[in-house]
Amino acid sequence: MLALVKDLYDASSENRHFLHARFQAEESVGAALEVYRRKIVEQFFPARGDGKLKLSEARKAIRDYRKATGNIAGTIDLLLTYLENGTEFTEQFGDIDEPFYNSLESAAEEMKALIFKQEPECYQRFRERVVRLERMVGRIGWGYGDYLGDLVCVLESQFGDQPEPSRSSDNAAR
C-alpha cells in the first residue's frame, strides 16, 4: 500500500497536491490550502501577463480541495477567494460578460449553502471578508451587485451579530 501511495505521489503534481491536502484535512490553513488558493488567484491575477479567466480551472481547484479534504471551512475560504478575485478583476478591468457573473453568483450560492450547513460561528469567522466583498460590488452591473447584496442580507439576518439592547431603553422602561 505504501508503495502505491508513493507511486501516486511521484506520478503527478495533482496527486501530490491531493495527498498533501488529504493529510492536512482538518486544517483550514496551511500549505495545502495555499496551493489551491494560488490556483484560483492565478486565473485572475497571474504573476506574469494577464489573467486567462479560465473560471473552470479556478472552480476545479475548489472542488479538488473539497474532495481531498472534506474541510468545509477551507472550502468556504477558497470560494471567498474566488469571489474576491473575480470582483477585484471586474473592478480593475471593467464589466466582463454574463457567464462571468453567473459563475461568481454560483460560487456565492455555494458558499451560502455551506455556511448554512455549519454552525453560526463559521459565518463569524468569514463575516469581515463577506461584508467587505459586498462593499466592493456596489458599482458592478449584470445584477451581480444586487445579488451579492441580497445574499449578504440573508447571511447577516441569520448569523450576524444581534444588537445589544440599549441602556437608554432600559432606563425608559423603569
- Count of structural domains, the chain: 1
Position 97 in a domain: yes
Q: Which residues contact 49 (CB under 8 A, 6 or more apart)?
A: none
pLDDT band at 104 (very low <50, low <70, confident <90, very high): very high
For residue 39, give its domain range: 2-160
124-140 per-position pLDDT tens digit = 999 999 999 999 887 78
111-169 per-position pLDDT tens digit = 999 999 987 788 999 999 999 999 988 778 778 999 999 999 999 999 987 344 343 44
38-65 per-position pLDDT tens digit = 999 999 999 998 888 999 999 999 999 9
Position 165 in a domain: no
C-alpha cell at 108: 456565492
Q: How far apart are CA 86 and CA 97, in angstroms?
A: 12
C-alpha cell at 67: 474532495
Predicted confidence (pLDDT) at residue 8 exceeds the cutoff of 90: no
Position 113 in a domain: yes
Strands (DSSP E) found in 7-123: none
What's the pTM value of the predicted model, to 2 decimals?
0.79
C-alpha cell at 164: 445589544
Question: Would you call 30 helix, strand, or coil by DSSP?
Answer: coil
Q: What is the pLDDT of residue 111?
A: 96
Q: What is the pLDDT of residue 116?
A: 93
Calculate helix-pair angle for 72-93, 120-136, nearest 10 degrees: 0
Position 96 in a domain: yes
**Cβ(2)–Cβ(49) under 8 Å?**
no
**Cβ(129)–Cβ(108) under 8 Å?**
no
Position 172 in a domain: no
Position 173 in a domain: no
pLDDT band at 19 (very low <50, low <70, confident <90, very high): low
Position 138 in a domain: yes
The alpha carbon of residue 138 and the mean position of all alpha carbons in its chain are separated, in whole angstroms, by: 19
Q: Which residues contact 143 (CB under 8 A, 6 or more apart)?
A: 101
- The single-letter code of the amino acid at 42 is E
Position 69 in a domain: yes
